[in-house]
Amino acid sequence: MIEAREQKWVAAAKEGDQEAFEELVHLYEKRVLALTQRMCANPEDAAEAAQEAFFAAWQGLKNFRGDSSFSTWLYRLASNACVDQLRREGRRQAAVSLDDEDVNLDIPASILSPQEEAERRELGEQIEAGLQSLPPEYRAVLVLREVQQLRYEEIGKALEMDIGTVKSRISRGRKKLRSFLLAQGNFSSPPSSKGTGKGGCL
């Protein structure tokens, strides 16, 4: 089982076993990079933030108590690295859906018509533009929810905040982005009740 192997690698890495830590890097590098790519302005910044996260993990692993899972702790380090970069450079571009149930920007291109593909690209560009107005802390919760599909409790542990704050930031971030997209004509106003379908509205 991967979980058992992970625990074994974590225990060994805490004792200074570099090979064990390399196994953890191989296990999580794609997921961490997917997270940083969504939060950073360009691939170079994303790769640097991912590197910083793994370096911080290696440096701090001896103090990792296991209160949360290793992956949650690693996502926290990656998120912090990205937020630090965003604050330093003032860059605010990312591609993330507004609602993990209502908007999916990862539909394979092969099943889309040319018009649908163009609309998908336009929506992605508008979402990136809308995210420019969000402070890093809003983007952090949205990316963890969207990219890593973490539960509220896991996001709270990753970002060291209570669940109420997580929910509030996700809600506020989505509202701001929804307002932006409504102004751009990309979405219709939401119905008075959610009904039974998802309908693509935010």
Burial classification of residue 129, based on how many CB atoms lie within 10 Å of its CB (0-12 exposed, 13-18 middle, 19 or more buried): middle
Check if the beta carbon of residue 155 is closer than 8 Å to that of residue 75: no
Per-residue pLDDT of the chain (202 residues; tens, 9 = 90+): 568 889 999 999 999 999 999 999 999 999 999 888 877 767 888 899 999 999 999 999 988 888 778 988 998 899 888 877 776 655 333 334 444 444 333 434 445 567 766 766 666 666 666 666 667 778 778 777 766 677 888 888 878 889 999 999 988 888 877 877 777 665 555 554 444 444 443 4
